[in-house]
């Protein structure tokens, strides 16, 4: 039920204010988290954003649940959208960086991979309308009249302050493919007994004939992703079998992914009614607060088939003609019932957090209630998320410790084949294939 507390009496208001203050203290202000844009000392480029940049979406134009991948020399474009919730009036420029198959900057200058200007203004933006939280919605499509992509491969879109190009506010991965190679892939149960009920194994055949005479052990790299999750991608540098027809990746102990579990779901499309997952919706001081029903640790639970978006989200307000600028923002309170994990941290994960470990989405353990809690600012829509555990020493992410592992889980796999011939300074993306474990599985 939507509560308008402006009609409360002074006494009730005071009580509510004390209660709300206590809640905010326990859940923590993750929005105030400060972190470096630069990824330590590594050269790997990944998705990043400043704390006031919200609801970042990157997808093939017209298909907002598709990954940001387009075909070279076609009319296909990529759309990147985001909201700026800062109080300052700022203009943004963007530029593009070409990367290797493992997301390090290529040894190329801008003119090698793009026609146009290196920096251009993000000139498509609209102010929010009728919302309690004011924001500016930005949208950008690539390629466009100012920039044309000349070669295939991995790319980074970098959005910067127009008056200080060293200030990066948003960085987003996307890909451009030239579909030269044909691939055949399957998902199967692993043959190793230890992985039989928990994992999924891929087999892959790649036809290399269109590339002519090449060395498959040095000129070809295949990368496999599960659900767009770059943290657990597999880079295959050497095939198991080489024949005149192509190469084959198939071995009893190779290309094995944890099945994990279906993503959890959250429906925030309306604040005028409550669903079982929402415990309470309140409006205080012009801000909406949504308290969710506590989640439980799923690692010992039986598998339950539950169709999901494989970690993605959709911006949508039920009673709106244009959700991009009319959807509200709310503070959403997540609670996870599980024992405290020592030497590890717990984070919300998925497109909701930019497919990365994001300090704004870290949960804090409340010793008075023995639960993990987080408060994050979300725009109205439908969200997938999961809880991941990150080792404090190694930084390694574990998707299944709090979610469980099941062979039956429906996962999407994206397979990319990169080619670099002698004398060429960059990795071309020459093959791509997507498949679902649910509909391509063999026993």
> Is pLDDT of 1 > 70?
no
The pLDDT tens digits of the residues spanning 136-186 come to 999 999 999 999 999 999 999 999 999 999 999 999 999 999 999 999 999
Quick one: pLDDT at residue 28?
59
User: Which burial class, exposed, middle or buried, applies to 24 when counting CB atoms under 10 A from its CB (0-12, 13-18, 19+)?
Assistant: middle
Quick one: pLDDT at residue 38?
35
| Token representation of residue 304 | 């339950």
The pLDDT tens digits of the residues spanning 389-430 come to 999 999 999 999 999 999 999 999 999 999 998 889 999 999
Q: For Cα atoms 268, 269, 273, give the angle at the middle one, nearest 5 degrees.
A: 80
Dihedral sign of CA atoms 113, 155, 413, 391 in order: positive
Q: Over the chain, what is the mean pLDDT?
A: 90
> Is pLDDT of 16 > 70?
no
Among 22-36, 120-134, 167-181, name the one with the lowest average pLDDT: 22-36
Residues 6+ apart with CB under 8 A from 67: 59, 60, 175, 228, 414
> Is pLDDT of 36 > 70?
no
User: Which burial class, exposed, middle or buried, applies to 394 when counting CB atoms under 10 A from its CB (0-12, 13-18, 19+)?
Assistant: exposed
Instruction: Kindly list the distances between the CA atom of residue 157 and the CA atoms of 26, 82, 97, 249, 443, in Å, as whole numbers in the listed order.
Output: 37, 13, 7, 32, 41
The pLDDT tens digits of the residues spanning 40-57 come to 446 899 999 999 999 999
d(CA 30, CA 348): 12
Mean predicted confidence (pLDDT) in 339-350:
96
> 106: part of which helix (H) or strand (E)?
none
Specify the 3-state DSSP secondary structure of 19.
Answer: helix
> 17: part of which helix (H) or strand (E)?
helix 10-27
Q: Report domain extents, the chain.
A: 5-30+261-398, 35-177, 182-259+407-442
Quick one: pLDDT at residue 5?
37
Residues 6+ apart with CB under 8 A from 281: 1, 2, 3, 271, 274, 288, 289, 290, 291
Mean predicted confidence (pLDDT) in 360-365:
98
Per CATH, the homologous superfamily of domain 5-30+261-398 is: Immunoglobulins (2.60.40.10)
| Token representation of residue 159 | 């959005």
Contact 343, 393 (CB under 8 A): yes
Residue ranges in 86-186 assigned as alpha helix (H): 110-113
The pLDDT tens digits of the residues spanning 275-303 come to 889 999 999 888 999 999 999 999 999 99
Render 264-326 in DSSP notation, one character per residue. EEEE-S-SSS--TTEEEEEEETTEEEEEEPPEE--TTSPP------TT-EEE--TT-S-HHHH
Domain 182-259+407-442 has CATH 1.10.10: no
Q: Which residue has the higher pLDDT, 263 or 423?
A: 263
In the chain, what is the straight-line distance between the N-terminal and C-terminal CA atoms, in Å? 49
Per CATH, the homologous superfamily of domain 35-177 is: Immunoglobulins (2.60.40.10)
Residue ranges in 62-124 assigned as alpha helix (H): 110-113
Mean predicted confidence (pLDDT) in 323-346:
97
HSE-up (13 A, CA, CB side) for residue 61: 14
> Is pLDDT of 25 > 70?
no
> Is pLDDT of 20 > 70?
no
* Domains 35-177 and 182-259+407-442 are alike in CATH topology: yes
């Amino acid at each position: 039920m939507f509560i308008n507390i402006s009609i409360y009496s002074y006494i009730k208001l005071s009580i509510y204010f004390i209660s709300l203050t206590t809640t905010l203290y326990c859940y923590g202000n993750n929005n105030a988290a400060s972190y470096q844009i630069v990824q330590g000392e590594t050269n790997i480029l990944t998705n990043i954003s400043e704390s006031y940049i919200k609801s970042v979406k990157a997808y093939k134009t017209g298909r907002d649940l598709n990954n940001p991948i387009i075909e070279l020399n076609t009319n296909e474009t990529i759309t990147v959208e985001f909201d700026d919730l800062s109080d300052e009036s700022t203009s943004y420029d963007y530029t593009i960086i070409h990367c290797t198959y493992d997301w390090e900057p290529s040894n190329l200058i801008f003119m090698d991979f793009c026609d146009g200007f290196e920096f251009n203004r993000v000139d498509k933006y609209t102010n929010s309308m009728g919302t309690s939280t004011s924001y500016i919605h930005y949208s950008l499509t690539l390629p466009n009249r100012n920039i044309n992509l000349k070669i295939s491969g991995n790319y980074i879109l970098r959005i910067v302050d127009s008056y200080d190009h060293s200030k990066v506010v948003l960085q987003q991965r996307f890909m451009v493919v030239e579909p030269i190679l044909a691939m055949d892939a399957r998902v199967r149960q692993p043959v190793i007994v230890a992985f039989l009920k928990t994992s999924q194994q891929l087999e892959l055949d790649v036809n290399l004939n269109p590339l002519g005479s090449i060395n498959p052990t040095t000129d070809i790299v295949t990368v496999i992703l599960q659900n767009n999750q770059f943290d657990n991608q597999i880079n295959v540098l050497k095939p198991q079998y080489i024949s005149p027809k192509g190469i084959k990746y198939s071995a009893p102990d190779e290309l094995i992914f944890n099945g994990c579990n279906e993503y959890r779901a959250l429906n925030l499309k309306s604040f005028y009614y409550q669903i079982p997952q929402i415990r309470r919706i309140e409006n205080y001081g012009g801000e909406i607060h949504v308290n969710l029903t506590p989640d439980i640790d799923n690692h010992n639970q039986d598998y339950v088939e539950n169709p999901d978006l494989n970690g993605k989200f959709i911006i949508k307000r039920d009673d709106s003609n244009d959700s991009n600028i009319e959807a509200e923002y709310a503070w959403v309170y997540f609670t996870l019932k599980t024992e405290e994990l020592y030497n590890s941290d717990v984070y919300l994960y998925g497109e909701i957090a930019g497919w990365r470990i994001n300090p704004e989405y870290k949960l804090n353990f409340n010793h008075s209630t023995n639960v993990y809690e987080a408060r994050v600012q979300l725009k109205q829509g439908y969200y997938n998320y999961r809880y991941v555990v990150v080792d404090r020493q190694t930084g390694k992410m574990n998707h299944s410790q709090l979610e469980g592992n099941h062979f039956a889980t429906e996962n999407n796999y994206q397979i990319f084949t990169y080619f670099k011939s002698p004398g060429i300074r960059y990795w071309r993306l020459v093959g791509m294939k997507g498949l679902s474990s649910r509909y391509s599985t063999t026993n």
